Amino acid sequence: MNDALATSPLWADIATAVLVVVGASFAAVGSFGLLRMPTFYRRIHTPTLGATLGVWSITLATIIFFSTQGYGLFLHAVLISFFVGLTAPITTIFVMRVALFRDRRKPNPKAPVPPASSAPSTAPTPPAAPATTETP
């Protein structure tokens, strides 16, 4: 048995446990939101927010746990939180822009169709014939 892991104070164990449970809860809510939301645009937000907040909570739990083990302040995990916090929203923006682009290119089946009599003619009009002034 490794005695180094058994030396953390009680407050650190409690804080680590609470933060891990909170982080896992955020990730689970984000995953369930992915299944429950009706449209793509609503579905994209819940996993992004859930993953970001979940990673931040678990990263903070990691920092607290390993910093109290006697090895000094453990800030390596901040890089994980930084990169997830940086890349998740940017990736979401790009995915949403692609979806908007695709939605704008396809025709809208719910759009009202104008009646044929009031629709402007799209056929080109023939040029007018020159007037002739011939007398027989």
**Residue 124 within a domain:** no
> What does pTM read for this prediction?
0.63
Residue 110: inside a domain: no
| pLDDT at 1 (0 to 100) | 47
Q: What is the rounded CA–CA span in Å between residue 62 and residue 10?
A: 15
Is 125 among the domain residues?
Answer: no
Whole-number pLDDT of residue 46? 80
Residue 48's SS3 state is helix
Does 113 map to a domain? Answer: no
User: Residue 72: its pLDDT value, please?
Assistant: 79
pLDDT of residue 69: 85
Query: Is 68 contained in some domain?
Result: yes
Considering its fold, how many domains does the chain have in total? 1
| Domain housing 13 | 7-105
Q: Give CA–CA dist 13/64, Å, rounded.
A: 9
- Residue 120 lies inside a defined structural domain of this protein: no
Is 59 a member of any domain? yes
Positions of the chain with pLDDT lower than 70, given as ranges = 1-6, 111-136
CB-count burial class (<10 Å; 0-12, 13-18, 19+) for 67: middle
Return the pLDDT at 2: 55
